[in-house]
A and B are shown apart, each in its own frame.
Chain A
Amino acid sequence: AQRVTQPEKLLSVFKGAPVELKCNYSYSGSPELFWYVQYSRQRLQLLLRHISRESIKGFTADLNKGETSFHLKKPFAQEEDSAMYYCALLNQAGTALIFGKGTTLSVSS
């Protein structure tokens, strides 16, 4: 079965604190994983993809096949990082995304 699990509904941190948004997946084969973000009153948009191994807005995510995880991390949270974050998995056919339920990140000063 193809599934994405985001165990935390809400993560609250203070500005400057490290952030880790958890994502676990279930997939047969080599998964392609992504993080999408939705800022307040904005559209859902792609934040980063595991295959590019890039850092976007200070966020990184490493695919750990042993733990079937793709956690999103940032060493120092900023208030503008407050948003809803969705982990997503490309389906086996490569035709659609399977989303997790999302985690709301709240960064306060």
Chain B
Amino acid sequence: DAMVIQNPRYQVTQFGKPVTLSCSQTLNHNVMYWYQQKSSQAPKLLFHYYDKDFNNEADTPDNFQSRRPNTSFCFLDIRSPGLGDAAMYLCATSRGGSAYEQYFGPGTRLTVT
């Protein structure tokens, strides 16, 4: 009965090779978030979708893009991964207006070689 699913759980990519991480949800929540979490650091919000409206954080690099083709799915695209992009990427969802209560996926650990 997984509610927020992330695939793959582990992803290895080469420096500069585009990579896509996926997230799906069975909660029918309006809002989907993508976070980047580096070792011993706080989860850092990259962007979020409220329904189809995309909201980018001011300091999110252009290298990071996202797509939300429907309510259930959201993708994180890293156009040209650098070594500094190696991290855990967390997807989360919430009901609209309830950003405080987020439901997280298990994360995808990205390694850049």
Contact = CB atoms under 8 A, between A and B. Distances in A.
Given A32-B100, A34-B100, A95 B42 contact: no
A96 interface: yes
A78 to B, nearest CB: 23
A86 B43 contact: yes
Contact of A97 (B55, B97, B102, B103): B102
A4 B105 contact: no
Contact of B41 (A32, A45, A98, A101): A101
Nearest to B44: A99
B48 interface: yes
A36 B27 CA distance: 19
Interface in B48-68: 48, 50, 55, 57
B50 to A, nearest CB: 7
Interface residues of B, number: 23
B42 A49 contact: no
A96 B33 contact: yes
A43 B93 CA distance: 13
Q: Kindly state the interface size class of chain A when it binds its partner.
A: 20 to 34
A7 to B, nearest CB: 13
A44 B90 contact: yes
Interface in B63-107: 90, 92, 97, 99-106
B100 A97 contact: yes
Contacts of B48: 95-96
A35 to B, nearest CB: 11
Given A43-B106, A95-B48, A95-B55, A100 B42 contact: yes
A95 to B, nearest CB: 5
B99 A97 contact: yes
Interface of A: 4, 9, 32, 34, 43-46, 49, 86, 88, 90, 94-102
9 closest cross-chain pairs (CB), A and B: A99-B42, A44-B104, A43-B104, A101-B42, A99-B43, A96-B45, A90-B100, A46-B101, A95-B99
